[in-house]
Amino acid sequence: MSAYPQTPYGGSARVPPRRIGWAALDRDAPLRRLDWVLLAAVVGLLVVGSLLVWSATRQAAIDSGGDPQAYLKKHVLNIFIGTGLGVCAAMFDYRTLRMYAPIVYGLSIVGLLVVLSPLGATIRGSHSWILLPGGFSLQPSEFAKVALVVGLAMLLSEKRDAEDSPRDTDVLLVLVGAAVPLALIMLQPDLGTALVVSSIVIGMIAVSGARIRWVVGLLLAAAVVAFAVVQAGLLDDYQVKRLTAFVNPGDDPGGAAYNVSQGVIAIGGGGLDGHGLFHGPQTQGGFVPEQQTDFIFTTAGEELGFRGGILLIALLGLILWRACRIAWHADDLFGRLVAVGVVCWFSFQAFENIGMTLGIMPVTGVPLPFVSYGGSSMFANLVAIGLLQNVHVRRSLLPD
Amino acid sequence: MNERSGLRLVVLQVLVLSLIATLGGRLWFLQVHSGEAYEAAATSNRVRDIVTPATRGLVVDVSGRPLARNRTALVVSVSRTELLRQSDGGKSLLTRLAEVLDVDYADLKARTTVCGQPGAVRNVCWNGSPYQPIPVADGADDDMMDAVQQILERREDFPGVTAEQQSVRDYAGGGVGANAAHVLGYLGPVTEDEVAQAQADGRPLQSSDLVGRAGIEKEYDAYLRGTPGVRRLSVDSQGGVTGTISETDATPGDYVVTHLDAAVQKATEDALAAAVKGARTTGDPNKGGQKFKADSASAVVMDVRTGGVVAMASYPTYRPNIWVGGISQDEYEGITGAAGNYKILNRATQGEYAPGSIFKAVSTAAAVDAGFSVHRSYNCPGTYNVGNHLKKNYESAAYGVISFERAIEVSCDTNWYYFADTVWNRLGGYEQRSDAKDPFVQAAKGYGLGEATGIDLPAEAGGRIPGREWKQAYWKATKAAACVRAKKGYPEVEDRARAAFLLQLAKENCTDGWRYGPGDEANFAIGQGDVLVTPLQMARVYAAVANGGTLWVPQVAKSVMRPDGTVVKQFAPKSAGKLPVSKDTLSFLQRALTKVSVTGTGAGVFRGWPLDQVPMASKTGTAEVFGKQSTSWFASYAPADKPQYAIVMMVTQGGTGSGTSGPQVRKIYEKLLGVSGSTVRPATALQPGAAPPKGLPRITEDGRVLPPASAARKAAAKPKTPARTPRSTASAGTG
């Protein structure tokens, strides 16, 4: 039950800004008000993900005489750094955060521009990376998702005086604001992230209450663009191949469809119970490329079987349910839109990632949230969780 | 926040839920519903089979001489993958290679083109796996060594070109120069469909394998092929070997022992070539002395006691070794095209010809069946009127009233015209539509004509028995075309007389083509008109007459043996039935055919032959073919009193039976029976004792193939057999 007095006008009450730190164990302390179910689901995914990353990388390291735990260690380090970033994102009241939205947005644009400069690097066919000294690398498009979520939420919830839904000019502004990073991402080219970003934009505009014609129009536009891109040959050959490989994986078993067929074989071979962690023959034999990153789910499918795979999907579902719930109970449109943006991001990216390993989605390189190896995406994901908690902690109404 | 926002949030939740549900459902389908299939796929993914090809079994003749064996040769192969990787699609690489190998670029290009792709030439193109190195040249001579040396020294100029020692087929001719191309057949690369089929049948084939495509190589491929050895290795994704799962050694292919005798085969081929050559220098009296074309020919030597094929030759022929290491486009067209007169056809089993008078061995039985006693005499006029159509004897010869036996000796056609005309009228003339009561059709069927003999060679032709039922069916099938011609005529035929004849024929065929007239019956009786037989069928008929009436299923293969000498399979002589004749008729026929060689149409052929010691049974045939020169036939068996071999030879557009084929058949008999001049020495016969060896060749531990023990003993025991004791022709006549 809420410790705050409810106003007669419903959810419009302003909650005084509170800071985590003092009276942390107070009954109404922010720490107690955290969404623990959400946190538990995230921790669950992080644990399983770490095991999977370990399993997917240790054999190759052993074969080449390297440290079998090298990837695991870096992965755990990434989790800790990400958790720190997430805590930061949760601490400052999100309503003050919106002040910084333009800065975050501007920084992400700069990051994306740097990628396209000579400082950028190409990894796995995508020119999406900035190499840092000491063997670290950054993927600005991951941070751009966070920036976009916050930035769009700000734009769409601005100027709330008379209207209770965004005006057409707001929506236009949002589209322009989203078009810039989207274009930069497409230039890399990173088709998968572009798709995720598009789903974030459309989802947030829809839930912002903008007129229905915007939603329908955007969905239609997305369909037309997708069709035109494939038809007009704007994609590189490898992209078209990866997209079509999932329709006919038998076409070219050694080439573009290799990932798909090997991944499907690995998952299918796992059966109900799986081969057991560290015992998946496809995984340990190194048959599935990119297995610790984009194809991590094949390790889950092969080694943990249907039980393990469905557990991962269920944990993701749990996170999405909690995020939806946070959106529903958010105090204001800004908070709700931040949560909705995260829901769209995670749901589409998870569907795209797992779907491609199951052979029902085209192969586009996006990581599986909280599970795949990779610093930038782990940081971005945990920051997003921080934002969700931020909105959750500072709501005024509690249903339970 | 407005209601619209809340509503859309609900919609978003539903969407998210459905995405999650989709993933869960698909995961269930893959892992639980069809998990087993994927488990199998995963296994095959992680296993590599290293295949050691099996040595193909030999084909040997009856005394163990190699007809098809293996030799080691340097084989140059080209990787198609590497060709495609070249910037110009491999053009310059193949050009360089062609230069080194001293062949045409176009030829290399054709051989490395995968069948079914644009520009592929049938049978020259590569129909094996596209990932398999494609052999383009082989050899063991110095030129080849030089070429390989160059390729190895200039590795960078020849990416993807390999040269290695491989086992290739060698058609050795038994070491005595026999050819036997048509009987042995050839090998070709296996197709991907066949690999899949073989997998299903449990006789695995590799995409690099060659399989039999014709002849014995095809018929007994399953025995000859052997089983390849397989080392099954477990591998990781890089192809690195992580262990051996199982290992089986290659089992070499079995040997096929044939009834063929390489020496007899060689003699038969020589005789056939001589017959053709002889005909081409002989003038055709019916065509104003124009030389005979002798465009094709065939001969079969059969063991009358088993139906084993001792020799089988077809003309024109080709070197069987041109198939080894892949055939070139020119060579392929040369043996399969009209320009090369379809050299690839085995005329002995695939050629169908009118038999002419050698058919009288069949129609005599029909005449007897129709009630014409062999002990009576018949009039043999120069001409006979069949249905208002005057039909002549050969050169219109008239012999007056003669015995049935004499009628066979001189091959009196008018006699059989009389038989046929009488039978036709008795059956009800044109009213009769059924073959059931026609003795000529029934006899032909009883002699195994009109259907394949069942010899162990692929793609055998069956010939044709043109009875009433056949004629009705044929008319139905061709009526429409004939009626069009009956109206339009033959304006494209320049010879006006011929055009008029064809028009007349078309008019008759259009309306009355189904009518089986007395002329049809008469033609049938003398093996003319629409009757078609294969030389093999006639060899079997004469073998059956010789052996007392058993119609054999002809056999080329005698047995299958393992390389260690164990007998896998013995092909016992297989009877296809008995000739539909009484003992009396058969001995009459034997007598008559024996007399043919003494005082009949075959007398000239056997002039000077020691008939008293080795009586011969024979029958000549000179079949007329509309628009072409006559076909020369000679059918025989010997010795007439103790038959062992039957020989049939034919030469199309080759003149008379006694003039062209007869003398050459005699040449074969001389070698086969050890006859030189008028002396008989069975020890000098090509087959020891003038009979095919009964036992099987022996295989020693070191792999050599030795002649059968019985034959070796026989030859050793009787190094100088004295000439046979004389025997009277009279005793032969009753035998």
pLDDT in tens, A341-387: 999 999 999 999 999 888 888 777 789 999 999 889 999 999 999 99
Helix (H, G, I), strand (E, B) or coil at B675: strand
Mutation target for A interface from B3, B19, B131: give the one with most A CBs within 10 A: B19
Whole-number Å distance between alpha carbons of A121 and B680: 97
Q: Residue B235: what pLDDT?
A: 67
Contact between A340 and B9 using a beta-carbon 8 Å cutoff:
yes
Residue B240 distance to chain A (closest CA, Å): 10
Contact between B39 and A268 using a beta-carbon 8 Å cutoff:
yes
Mutation target for A interface from B2, B3, B7, B12: give the one with most A CBs within 10 A: B12
B558 sits in which H/E element? strand B557-561
Burial of B159 (0-12, 13-18, 19+ CB in 10 A): middle
Contact between A354 and B23 using a beta-carbon 8 Å cutoff:
yes
Residue B44 distance to chain A (closest CA, Å): 11
Contact between B27 and A203 using a beta-carbon 8 Å cutoff:
no
Nearest neighbour of B12 by CB, restricted to A63, A317, A343? A343
Mutation target for B interface from A218, A287, A312, A336: give the one with most B CBs within 10 A: A287
Instruction: Find the residue in A nearest to B25 (Cα).
Output: A310
Sign of the C-alpha dihedral computed for residues B209, B212, B218 and B223 taken in this order: negative
Whole-number Å distance between alpha carbons of B601 and B578: 28
Q: Residue A137: what pLDDT?
A: 78
**Which residues partner with B623 through β-bridges?**
B631
Closest CA to B327 of B210, B220, B197, B183: B210
In chain B, residues 442-501 whose CB comes closer than 8 Å to chain A: none
**pTM confidence score:** 0.64
Instruction: Look up tokens 């962690």; give the residue.
Output: A277
Q: Do B551 and B448 contact (CB within 8 A), yes or no?
A: yes
Instruction: Find the residue in A nearest to B4 (Cα).
Output: A209
Cβ-Cβ contacts under 8 Å, B236 against chain A: 63, 285-287
**Which residues partner with B336 through β-bridges?**
none
End-to-end CA distance of chain A: 6
Q: Does B7 touch chain A (CB under 8 A)?
A: no
Q: Which two three-digit tokens encode residue B287?
A: 């065509």
Q: How many CB atoms lie within 10 A of CB B661?
A: 35
The number of angstroms, rounded, from the C-alpha of A42 to the middle of its chain's C-alpha atoms is 13
Whole-number Å distance between alpha carbons of A63 and A285: 10
Cβ-Cβ contacts under 8 Å, A264 against chain B: 30, 38
Q: Is the pLDDT of residue B735 over 50?
A: no
Nearest neighbour of A272 by CB, restricted to B5, B32, B235? B32
Closest CA to B622 of B305, B285, B329: B285
DSSP calls for B257-293: EES--HHHHHHHHHHHHHHHHHHHTSEEGGGTTEEP-
Instruction: Between A258 and B444, name the one with better pLDDT.
Output: B444
Q: Is the pLDDT of residue B361 over 70?
A: yes
Contact between A358 and B26 using a beta-carbon 8 Å cutoff:
yes
Domains of chain B, earliest start first: 48-258 (3.90.1310.10), 262-322+338-355+535-729 (3.40.710.10), 362-525 (3.40.710)
- φ, ψ for residue B559, nearest 5 deg: -160, 170
Q: Do B69 and B172 contact (CB within 8 A), yes or no?
A: yes
Residue B225 distance to chain A (closest CA, Å): 31
Whole-number Å distance between alpha carbons of A145 and A155: 15
The predicted-structure confidence for B275-294, as pLDDT tens digits, reads as follows: 999 999 987 777 777 889 99
Grade residue A259 by pLDDT with cuts at 50, 70 and 90. Answer: low
Residue A352 distance to chain B (closest CA, Å): 10
Q: Residue B44: what pLDDT?
A: 65
Q: Which two three-digit tokens encode residue B142?
A: 């110095």
Q: Residue B32: what pLDDT?
A: 85
In chain B, residues 229-258 whose CB comes closer than 8 Å to chain A: 235-238
Cβ-Cβ contacts under 8 Å, A280 against chain B: none
Contact between A336 and B46 using a beta-carbon 8 Å cutoff:
no
Say which range, A24-33, A120-129, B366-375, B543-552, has the weakest mean pLDDT.
A24-33
Instruction: Find the residue in B nearest to A275 (Cα).
Output: B39
Residue A350 distance to chain B (closest CA, Å): 9
Sign of the C-alpha dihedral computed for residues B374, B375, B378 and B380 taken in this order: positive
Helix (H, G, I), strand (E, B) or coil at A152: helix
Residue A138 distance to chain B (closest CA, Å): 29
Instruction: Find the residue in B nearest to A351 (Cα).
Output: B19
Cβ-Cβ contacts under 8 Å, A348 against chain B: 19
Q: What is the mean pLDDT of residues B463-476?
A: 93
Contact between A209 and B23 using a beta-carbon 8 Å cutoff:
no
Q: Rg for chain B (alpha carbons), in Å?
A: 32
CA angle B296, B301, B307 (to 5 degrees): 125
Cβ-Cβ contacts under 8 Å, A268 against chain B: 30-31, 34-35, 37-39, 41-42
Nearest neighbour of B2 by CB, restricted to A164, A282, A313? A164
Instruction: Find the residue in A nearest to B234 (Cα).
Output: A285
Q: Which residues contact B467 (CB under 8 A, 6 or more apart)?
A: B435, B438, B440, B441, B516, B524
Cβ-Cβ contacts under 8 Å, A358 against chain B: 23, 26-27, 30
CA dist A303 → A63, A356, B33, B39, B676 (Å): 20, 18, 17, 13, 86
Q: Does B44 touch chain A (CB under 8 A)?
A: no
Nearest neighbour of A209 by CB, restricted to B5, B37, B236? B5
Q: Residue B668: what pLDDT?
A: 96
Contact between A264 and B38 using a beta-carbon 8 Å cutoff:
yes
Residue B502 half-sphere exposure toward CB, CA atoms < 13 A = 19
Q: Which residues contact B690 (CB under 8 A, 6 or more apart)?
A: B644, B672, B673, B674, B682
Q: Residue A6: what pLDDT?
A: 45
Q: Does B25 touch chain A (CB under 8 A)?
A: no
Instruction: Find the residue in A nearest to B20 (Cα).
Output: A317
Whole-number Å distance between alpha carbons of B681 and B644: 16
Q: Do B593 and B619 contact (CB within 8 A), yes or no?
A: yes
Residue B3 distance to chain A (closest CA, Å): 8
Whole-number Å distance between alpha carbons of B511 and B501: 16
Say which range, A274-283, B398-407, B677-686, B712-721, has the weakest mean pLDDT.
B712-721
Q: Does B35 touch chain A (CB under 8 A)?
A: yes
Q: What is the mean pLDDT of residues B411-429?
A: 94
The predicted-structure confidence for B60-105, as pLDDT tens digits, reads as follows: 999 999 999 998 888 888 887 778 777 787 888 889 888 888 888 8
Q: Is the pLDDT of residue B380 over 90?
A: yes
Contact between B27 and A313 using a beta-carbon 8 Å cutoff:
yes
Grade residue B455 by pLDDT with cuts at 50, 70 and 90. Answer: very high
* Phi-psi map region of B324: left, alpha, beta (phi>0 left; psi -120 to 50 alpha): beta
Q: Rg for chain A (alpha carbons), in Å?
A: 21
Nearest neighbour of B39 by CB, restricted to A271, A344, A351? A271
State yes or no: cis peptide before A362, omega within 30 of 0. no
Torsion of CA B183, B184, B190, B191, to 10 degrees: -10
Cβ-Cβ contacts under 8 Å, A286 against chain B: 236-238
What count of CB pairs under 8 Å joins A to B?
139
The predicted-structure confidence for A98-144, as pLDDT tens digits, reads as follows: 788 888 889 889 988 888 887 777 776 667 778 777 667 788 889 99
Q: Does B38 touch chain A (CB under 8 A)?
A: yes
Grade residue A13 by pLDDT with cuts at 50, 70 and 90. Answer: very low
Mutation target for A interface from B38, B47, B81, B131: give the one with most A CBs within 10 A: B38
Scored b (16 or more CB within 10 A) or e, B28-45 reads bebbbeebeebbebbeeb
Q: Is the pLDDT of residue B533 over 70?
A: yes
**Which residues partner with A10 through β-bridges?**
none
Instruction: Find the residue in B nearest to A308 (Cα).
Output: B27
Nearest neighbour of B31 by CB, restricted to A165, A309, A348? A309
Question: In chain B, pLDDT over 90 holds for what percent of residues?
Answer: 54
Instruction: Find the residue in B nearest to A361 (Cα).
Output: B23
Q: Residue B161: what pLDDT?
A: 87
Contact between B42 and A281 using a beta-carbon 8 Å cutoff:
yes
Residue A340 distance to chain B (closest CA, Å): 8
Q: Residue B731: what pLDDT?
A: 37
Whole-number Å distance between alpha carbons of B240 and A60: 12
